[in-house]
């Protein structure tokens, strides 16, 4: 893919994003990492996309029935939510030098809207306003296991974004993204084991200033 988002505007902070299909445990891992970093004296901001703002709420309405909007409109909603998020949360926190932990970001747009048939290079180009992550964890789990976790543990019925065949396509795109800031993590282990890996990679990044590849 040639059309990658532009290089980062210079900021003091560190942007770490948590990605992967639904049910991989990324939100739990994010919270545990936030605790760890705070205990070590870092200023940490935790945040998520879709956001809790106006556009994020519109997107959650969508979960119930995606058929009510076109793919183009759906992509536009995620972009609008992200623009607002970058301006009001991410940029200010990064300029203050915080470590920002973000649950989903534009890699999700590439994977999910790409799986819905949108052009991935075009999605990348449309996200060029968003600061690239310094580190992106992509948590990997077979879609069968992820759906089992959603239904058994959370007692939820998979929504339109969570159907198996669709998640398989999403997973395939996540596994093929070419960015050097990506670290793939096997999510099919205990929470503690996965968290140990996450912490090692973040410690490495904070001391070396680069992803471990």
Q: Which is nearer to ligand TYD, 6 or 154 (CB)?
A: 154
Which is nearest to 89 in space by CA: 56, 51, 38, 57?
51
Count of positions on this chain that bind ligand TYD (CB under 6 A) = 12
Indicate whether 181 belongs to the interface with ligand TYD (CB under 6 A): no
Torsion of CA 103, 104, 105, 106, to 10 degrees: 170
Give me the half-sphere count of Cα atoms (radius 13 Å) on the Cβ side of residue 94.
Answer: 22
Please report, as residue ranges, which positions from 15 to 34 form the binding site for ligand TYD (by CB under 6 A): 22
| Of the candidate residues 50, 131, 133, 143, the single one contacting ligand TYD (CB under 6 A) | 50
Positions of E strands within the chain: 14-20, 44-48, 99-103, 135-140, 182-186
Stretch touching ligand TYD by CB under 6 A, among 4-12, 85-93, 103-111, 129-137:
103-111
Write the binding mask 125 to 164 for ligand TYD: x where contact by CB under 6 A, - elsewhere. ------------------------------------xx--
Backbone angles phi, psi at 46, to 5 degrees: -105, 140
Q: Is residue 101 within 8 Å of residue 34, measured between CB atoms?
A: yes
> Bridge partners of 100?
15, 45
Q: Which is nearer to ligand TYD, 127 or 195 (CB)?
A: 127
Output the CA–CA distances (angstroms, integers) from residue 87 to 6, 130, 142, in the order listed. 17, 9, 35
In whole angstroms, how close is the CB of 152 to ligand TYD at the nearest point?
17
Binding mask 65-84 for ligand TYD (x = CB under 6 A): -------------x------
Beta carbons within 10 angstroms of residue 189's beta carbon: 14
Contacting ligand TYD within 108-127 (CB under 6 A): 108-109, 112-113
Question: Which residue's CB is nearer to ligand TYD, number 78 or number 181?
Answer: 78
Q: Is 12 exposed, middle or buried (0-12, 13-18, 19+ CB in 10 A)?
A: exposed
Residues that bind ligand TYD (CB under 6 A): 22, 49-50, 78, 103-104, 108-109, 112-113, 161-162
């Amino acid at each position: 893919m040639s059309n990658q988002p532009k290089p980062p505007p210079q900021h003091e902070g560190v942007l770490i994003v948590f990605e992967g299909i639904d049910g991989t445990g990324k939100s739990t891992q994010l919270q545990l990492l936030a605790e760890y970093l705070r205990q070590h004296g870092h200023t940490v901001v935790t945040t998520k996309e879709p956001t809790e703002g106006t556009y994020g709420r519109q997107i959650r309405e969508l979960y119930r029935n995606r058929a009510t909007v076109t793919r183009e409109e759906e992509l536009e909603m995620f972009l609008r939510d992200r623009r607002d998020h970058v301006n009001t949360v991410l940029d200010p926190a990064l300029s203050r030098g915080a470590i920002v932990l973000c649950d989903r970001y534009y890699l999700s747009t590439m994977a999910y809207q790409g799986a819905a048939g949108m052009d991935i290079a075009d999605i990348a180009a449309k996200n060029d306003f968003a600061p690239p992550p310094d580190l992106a964890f992509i948590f990997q789990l077979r879609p069968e296991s992820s759906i089992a976790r959603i239904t058994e543990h959370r007692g939820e019925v998979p929504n339109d974004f969570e159907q198996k065949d669709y998640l398989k396509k999403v997973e395939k795109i996540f596994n093929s993204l070419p960015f050097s800031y990506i670290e793939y993590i096997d999510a099919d282990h205990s929470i503690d084991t996965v968290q140990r890996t996450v912490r090692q990679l973040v410690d490495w990044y904070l001391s070396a200033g680069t992803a471990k590849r």
